[in-house]
Amino acid sequence: MPERLSPLPHQTLVMKFGGTSVGSARAMENVIQIVRQARAEWPRVAVITSALAGVTNLLLESAAQSARGETSQLPEAEQTLLANHQTIATSLIADESRRAAVMEEIGGLVRSFVELCHAISVLGEATPRALDAVASLGERMSVRLLAAVLESAGIPSKFIEATELIVTDNHFQSAHPDFGLTTERTRHVLLPLLEQGFTPVITGFLGATRDGLVTTLGRGGSDYSAGIIGAVLPADDVWIWTDVDGVMTADPRLVPQAQTLPQISYSEIAELAYFGAKVLHPKTIRPVVEAGIGLRICNTFNPAHPGTRLVSNGKAENPLPGEKVIKAVTAIRRQKLVTIEGRGMLGVPGVAARAFAAVASTGTSVPLITQASSEQSICFSIPSEACHAVLSALEKTFASELAQRDIDRVWATEDVSIITVVGHGTRHTPGVAGQIFTQLGQAGINVLAIAHGSSDVSISMVVESTETETAVKALHKLIVS
């Protein structure tokens, strides 16, 4: 590989901007200033962008309606897409010919959207491949707009569709990258641009198979795109720009007293991201950790705030002065607890394996598992919308045992929530679990199930859905008290 295509040490910053960060002319003005400041401090800067806020939802809702044969909404969706992008272009792209050229390209993508929806309507179904083709259009529009806006502000930029960079398998809607091929293509395309002083503006969320078919990395996958691009260049830092001041101690909509965490470990943020915190896509963390590069979460609308810096697990075990044992509390709503119970399960090998094979056959993820030491019951949580399919699969799998009464029943609760307390101190500090359950008891909250031990840094509890807010507020007092 020529020298100019070798990795760039200690010089490169990757920044990702979410949908709200590019969702209006005012927001994009902030992005201009952030990129300009970053270029003044870093020799090489690459930008990943999401679709404009609300665009991906509009695209997918239109596709779903089209699959049902409902296409009357398409003209309105078409006009909304054009108007949202035109408003920003008119405000921030001064040169009329450049503005017209950008809107012509965006208009072509909007026409593709309408054509795809009509094709879906004719077929009467939206396949995963078709949904990826539709969903990808939001980022493909925004990347053209943001690159032109930066150019108009005097920042040399070129847009790049990540289909040229990120090679994935053909698992549409949640594709997995081939890091070897992705590294090769990313360095080949991006490094020359960076060396020439351009800021590449890259679509988040997207990739492509080896055959060039568009794939997506799952909802919220633009964060993951930033982690992938940052890891394979490699960059020195990845900054995720969003609409909050970093990682919070709790959801501020539930707890107005929630505070920004100045630092958090990779394992702690992984738990928070998995258990409901929306500030970072869970898959973002792995490529960043494995590449040994930095990660920071900041607020586009408050760029002076330092945000949250992610640190290695070892560093996190040495807390900052005044830092609490418990770092944050989060919640996953709309879960159900499924229980398989019966005295005939005692000592019978393979029951758990068969149960989770049945769950897996429905494509359902299980975030929490607990089992009685008597082996007479297994309990686990699943998303509420998957409950019917999971119960049917389990009843089919254990039809013989149910008939013979070796298993008494397979049943599910009403909606519940998983409350998770995160912090390295949950393992190393005596009495933390006692504090947690005392706090919940004093708030009058009954804990339906508990999971602790699979993670060094979290304790998860299941509570009635009606007690979610009360539980989070009660446990947050252990952080701010």
Q: DSSP readout, 63-79?
A: HHHHHTT--TTHHHHHH
Domain that holds residue 77: 8-243
Tokens representing 391?
């119960």
Q: What is the pLDDT of residues 145-176, one digit of tens each?
A: 999 999 999 999 999 999 999 999 999 999 99
DSSP 209-220: -TT--EEE--TT
Instruction: Look at 267-281, 296-310, 386-400, 464-478 and tell me which has the smallest mean pLDDT.
Output: 267-281
> What is the pLDDT confidence band of residue 267, given thresholds at 50, 70 and 90?
confident
Whether the pLDDT of residue 301 is over 90: the answer is yes
> What is the pLDDT confidence band of residue 315, given thresholds at 50, 70 and 90?
low
Distance of CA 189 to the CA centre of its chain: 26
Q: What count of other Cβ atoms lies within 10 Å of the Cβ of residue 1?
A: 10
Exposure string of 115-154, with b = 16+ CB inside 10 Å and e = fewer, is ebbeebbeeeebeeebbbbbbbbbbbbbbbbbbbbbbbbe
At residue 225, the pLDDT reads 97
Residue 231 lies in a domain: yes
* Pairwise CA distance, residues 343 & 194, whole Å: 65
Residue 386 lies in a domain: no
At residue 152, the pLDDT reads 97
Residue 479 lies in a domain: no
DSSP single-letter state for residue 156: -
Whether the pLDDT of residue 304 is over 90: the answer is yes
Mean pLDDT, to the nearest integer, of 250-276? 84
* Pairwise CA distance, residues 238 & 186, whole Å: 16
Our count of domains for the chain comes to 1
At residue 426, the pLDDT reads 67
Mean pLDDT, to the nearest integer, of 276-301? 86
Single-letter residue type at 306: P
Sign of torsion over alpha carbons 209, 213, 214, 217: negative
At residue 207, the pLDDT reads 97
The CATH code of the domain that includes 197 is 3.40.1160.10
Q: Within 18-95, where are the H helices?
A: 25-41, 55-67, 74-92
Whether the pLDDT of residue 5 is over 50: the answer is no
Average pLDDT, the chain: 90
At residue 15, the pLDDT reads 98
Q: What is the pLDDT of residues 199-248, one digit of tens each?
A: 999 999 999 999 999 999 988 889 999 999 999 999 999 999 998 899 88
Give the orientation angle of helix 74-92 with respect to helix 55-67, to 10 degrees. Answer: 160
Residue 239 lies in a domain: yes
* Pairwise CA distance, residues 327 & 429, whole Å: 13
pTM of the model: 0.84
Residue 91 lies in a domain: yes
* Pairwise CA distance, residues 225 & 272, whole Å: 19
Residue 406 lies in a domain: no
* Pairwise CA distance, residues 291 & 389, whole Å: 39
Q: What is the pLDDT of residues 351-383, one digit of tens each?
A: 889 999 999 999 898 989 987 665 688 899 999
At residue 432, the pLDDT reads 82
* Pairwise CA distance, residues 27 & 376, whole Å: 56
At residue 457, the pLDDT reads 84
At residue 252, the pLDDT reads 85
The kind and range of the H/E element at 263 are strand 263-265
At residue 114, the pLDDT reads 97
Tokens representing 158?
């070129």
Reduce the DSSP state of residue 244 to 3 states and report it.
coil
Q: What angle do CA 62, 63, 64 make, to 5 degrees?
A: 90
* Pairwise CA distance, residues 116 & 136, whole Å: 12
Q: Calculate what percentage of the chain has a pLDDT beyond 90.
A: 70
DSSP 385-449: GGHHHHHHHHHHHTHHHHHTTSS-EEEE-S-EEEEEEE-THHHHSTTHHHHHHHHHHHTTPPP-E
Instruction: Look at 139-143, 303-307, 456-460, 469-473 and tell me which has the smallest mean pLDDT.
Output: 456-460
Residue 353 lies in a domain: no
Mean pLDDT, to the nearest integer, of 412-425? 90
Tokens representing 424?
């390295």
Burial of 385 (0-12, 13-18, 19+ CB in 10 A): exposed
At residue 289, the pLDDT reads 87
Max distance between CA atoms of the chain, in angstroms, equals 78
Q: Name residues whose C-beta falls within 8 Å of residue 415's C-beta, 6 or more positions apart in sequence.
A: 333, 334, 335, 336, 384, 465
Reduce the DSSP state of residue 252 to 3 states and report it.
coil
> What is the pLDDT confidence band of residue 3, given thresholds at 50, 70 and 90?
very low
Q: Name residues whose C-beta falls within 8 Å of residue 373's C-beta, 6 or more positions apart in sequence.
A: none
CB-CB contact of 413 with 449 (8 Å): no
Mean pLDDT, to the nearest integer, of 293-319? 82
> Following CA atoms 172, 177, 181, 182 in sequence, which dihedral angle do they give, to the nearest 10 degrees?
110
Residue 449 lies in a domain: no
Mean pLDDT, to the nearest integer, of 437-448? 94
Q: Which of 318, 266, 326, 325 is nearest to 297 (CA)?
A: 266
At residue 4, the pLDDT reads 36
* Pairwise CA distance, residues 96 & 26, whole Å: 20
Q: What is the pLDDT of residues 36-62, one digit of tens each?
A: 999 999 999 999 999 999 999 999 999
* Pairwise CA distance, residues 144 & 107, whole Å: 11
At residue 406, the pLDDT reads 86
